[in-house]
Structure formats: C-alpha cells, structure tokens
C-alpha cells in the first residue's frame, strides 16, 4: 500500500457513552472537535478530524434487555419489549430536541423513522424465535441502533461535521461470534484511505460509529463490549493518524477504578505492553484489543477526560521505560456469570468471550464479583494475582452497588485483602 501523508497532523477521537451521556455533554464533546489537541510530552499538536461515537449512556445495556424481554416466554413479552423500545426511542428524540435539532427537518425525520421501523421489526423477529436460542445476529442488529443513533445526533451539531457510516469501510468476520466479530478493511484500501484523507484535508470533520460493523452478508456485527476504542485505533492505523484520543469519564488510567477504590494509583505514562497487560488483567478503561492496531505504526494513544480536575490523562506509547518501578496494586471487578432463565442454573465463565457467547444463546447476565488484587514487582512482566473473592455471585448492576458492598468490609478487612 502506498503511503499518502496527511497535509497536517490529525487525531482520531473516541467519545465514550458517559462522555456523550447528556445533551450538554455531547455538545461539549462536539465543540472540542473544533479545537486543536496539544500533547506536550510528545511536542505534538494535532487537529481533531475524526470522531468515533459510542452509544449514549447505558443504551446498549437497555437494547440488550429489550432483546431478552422479547425473547422470553413471559406473558405479553413482545408488548413489553416494544414499549421499552418506544421509551428508548422517545428518549433519543428528546435528546435531539435538547440539541436544538428540528425533528421535522426531512433528513432527520427520515432517519428516525427508518431506525424506529428497523428496531421494531428486529424485536418482532426476536420474539418469533422465542422457543429457540436467541440469535446473536439479531441481538447484534438491535444493539447497533445505539451507536447509529448517537453518531447521527453528534454529526448534526456543527455544519462542518460530515457523517459517514463505519460499515462502508470496515467489515467483520462473525468469528468467534457476531457479538465479538473480527474486523477488517475491504476493497481497494489505498483508494478508500485517500478519499477519506481528501475530506480531512478539505477541513471536514468526520463523524462515525464505534463498536459496530457489517459482515460480508450485510448483517450487523459488534466488536465486543467497549469495542468503540478498538474502532478508533483501527481507523488510526488505516488512516495513519498521528494520535488517538480516548475520552472517558475518568482522568486517565489508574491501578484501580477510582470510582470504586480511593487508593488507586494514577499512571500518567504507559508503554503499549504495560497498557495491554492492564487491559488483559481486567482494567476497564481499555478494551484488551484496543492497542493492537497502533503498535506497529507506533501511533500514541491518550486516555483521559474532556474536563480534567486533577490529572491530565495517560499517554500510551512505544516507550521502553519501565513505569512500574515500585509495587503498584491493581484491583479489578469482573462480571462473568450467567443464569439460565428457565432452569435458573448459574454458570461461571473463564473470560468475556464465553460470557458473550452464553448471553447470545439466551443466558441472562448474572454478575460475579471477583475482585482481583495484582501487584507488580519492578517489572510489568512480574506480578502476583490473588482472587479476593471466589464464586461470590449476586446481582450487581453498577459501580454504586460495588461501593456499597465494599463499605460493608471493615478497613482492616480491606487492608488485609489488598496486602495479600
């Protein structure tokens, strides 16, 4: 593939669901795309040219629950599922009005009408198959609506924004599952990349979706939960961007989720290997596959929040420096349990891919609290992992639930766990 250098340094920006979780927040994110990004440690300034948008807030979770309801044998399951979908759809229409969009504008009206009909039709198809395992293709199709709605709304905020649907360039192979598909770029890649770069050079700011793509049969697939980060780095490699900026609701990468554990250590810089290891061990701020596409081309990745209060984000590069000179504890929370809605059997899974497959086959998510304490000794390659709780399962649906549970433990109990 011949190289086509961009006329200026540019970055790919990914905005997570919490970052665009309200009309005000989405507007702030959109406004930030008009600014230049300054990365002092790299002596790099980039123009933000491509935005990858996640579904608003917990929309994907809500779409999953709608699918599970439609697929259940509960009385009036289809009616309840359609009502839930209508509520979610109305929320997005309200969101649009709060962004001062005119819902009667022809292209906006048509967009909402088409996606509403598609969603209702998919829910009907899921219900028709209620006596068989839930089709992962139908579940992926329904879940795709979240990113398609949010990215479209984002694209309408400023006239310099240009919307394009990710499946026009990114395709998937539905292996191991349509819910965790393998992505690849199709067609004459050189021509596609050049065409997008021409738009970038003409001062257009491109808006697209994360998390989703289509397979060769035209069916929606997803890249796995938190797959929007992966989409951003795939695009960065494809377009040879100078920087990836991942905006989330925390101020960078910590050794433990700061929303849950107050003792988490902020990590201002990491190497690709160190960050990948943290992700594989369960650090939720990064998807485990996120960094794979950018390593070869040495594209740096910044992770942080749009409005930092204390920390200015974590920069991930090809640095050979060891950033774990001292003992740094890591704690993560995994949810890897499903419950059969008929037999009520609880199943523990070894990894997220097996959890996703079970859910796609009709199992209901049923959370396992598995706090992992990992300590690094002088090098990221030497660490000790301790399971604090084994087989401790209960319904937990948010970080607040976890906080409540941790509060039950006395300070001495917490100290004993974290020093083990």
Q: What is the pLDDT of residue 335?
A: 44
Which range, of 40-49, 84-93, 105-114, averages the lowest pLDDT?
Answer: 40-49
* pLDDT grade for 147, boundaries at 50, 70 and 90: very high
* pLDDT grade for 408, boundaries at 50, 70 and 90: very low
Sign of CA dihedral 339, 344, 348, 349: negative
Q: What is the pLDDT of residue 87?
A: 96
* pLDDT grade for 263, boundaries at 50, 70 and 90: low
Q: What is the pLDDT of residue 266?
A: 85
Sign of CA dihedral 192, 194, 195, 200: positive
Of 144 and 197, the one with more pLDDT? 144
C-alpha distance from residue 131 to each of 140, 262, 321, 345 (Å):
19, 46, 56, 18
The rounded distance, in Å, linking the Cα atoms of 34 and 198 is: 18
Domains and CATH numbers, the chain: 10-247 (3.40.1160.10), 328-418 (no CATH)
* pLDDT grade for 399, boundaries at 50, 70 and 90: very low
What torsion do the CA atoms of 59, 86, 26, 165 make, to the nearest 10 degrees? 80
Q: What is the pLDDT of residue 285?
A: 74
Q: What is the pLDDT of residue 345?
A: 66
| pLDDT > 70: percent of the chain | 70
Q: What is the pLDDT of residue 56?
A: 96
Of 328 and 400, the one with more pLDDT? 328
Q: What is the pLDDT of residue 206?
A: 94
The rounded distance, in Å, linking the Cα atoms of 234 and 186 is: 13
The rounded distance, in Å, linking the Cα atoms of 83 and 127 is: 14
Answer whether residue 73 shows pLDDT above 80. yes
**Do 402 and 333 meet the contact criterion of CB atoms below 8 Å apart?**
yes
* pLDDT grade for 242, boundaries at 50, 70 and 90: very high
Of 384 and 260, the one with more pLDDT? 260
Which range, of 38-47, 128-137, 177-186, averages the lowest pLDDT?
Answer: 38-47
């Amino acid at each position: 593939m011949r190289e086509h250098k961009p006329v200026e340094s540019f970055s790919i920006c990914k905005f997570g669901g919490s970052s665009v979780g309200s009309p005000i927040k989405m507007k702030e994110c959109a406004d930030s795309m008009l600014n230049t990004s300054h990365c002092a440690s790299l002596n790099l300034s980039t123009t933000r040219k491509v935005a990858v948008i996640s579904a608003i807030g917990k929309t994907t979770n809500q779409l999953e629950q709608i699918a599970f309801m439609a697929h259940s044998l509960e009385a009036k399951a289809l009616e309840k599922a359609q009502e839930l979908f209508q509520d979610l759809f109305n929320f997005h229409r309200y969101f649009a009005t709060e962004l001062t969009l005119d819902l009667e504008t022809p292209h906006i009206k048509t967009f909402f009408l088409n996606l509403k009909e598609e969603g209702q039709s998919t829910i009907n198809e899921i219900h028709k198959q209620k006596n068989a395992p839930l089709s992962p293709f139908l579940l992926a199709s329904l879940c795709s609506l979240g990113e398609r709605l949010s990215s479209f709304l984002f694209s309408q905020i400023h006239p310099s924004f240009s919307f394009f649907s990710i499946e026009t360039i990114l395709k998937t192979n539905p292996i191991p599952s349509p819910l965790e598909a393998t992505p690849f770029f199709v067609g004459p890649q050189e021509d596609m990349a050049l065409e997008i770069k021409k738009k970038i050079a003409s001062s257009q700011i491109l808006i697209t979706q994360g998390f989703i793509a289509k397979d060769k049969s035209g069916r929606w697939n997803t890249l796995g939960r938190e797959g929007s980060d992966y989409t951003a780095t795939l695009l960065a490699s494809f377009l040879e961007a100078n920087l990836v900026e991942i905006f989330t609701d925390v101020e960078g990468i910590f050794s433990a989720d700061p929303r849950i554990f107050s003792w988490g250590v902020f990590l201002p810089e990491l190497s690709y290997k160190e960050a990948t290891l943290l992700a594989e061990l369960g650090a939720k701020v990064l998807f485990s596959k996120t960094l794979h596409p950018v390593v070869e081309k040495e594209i740096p990745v910044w992770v942080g929040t749009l409005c930092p209060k204390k920390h200015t984000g974590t920069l991930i590069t090809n640095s050979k420096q060891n950033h774990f000179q001292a003992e740094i504890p890591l704690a993560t929370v995994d949810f890897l349990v499903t419950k059969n809605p008929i037999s009520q059997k609880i199943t523990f899974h070894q990894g997220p891919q097996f959890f996703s497959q079970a859910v796609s086959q009709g199992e209901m998510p049923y959370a396992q609290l598995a706090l992992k304490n990992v300590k690094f000794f002088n090098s990221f390659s030497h660490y000790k992992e301790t399971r604090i709780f084994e087989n401790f399962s209960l319904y937990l649906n948010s970080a607040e639930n976890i906080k409540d549970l941790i509060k039950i433990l006395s300070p001495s109990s917490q100290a004993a766990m974290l020093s083990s």
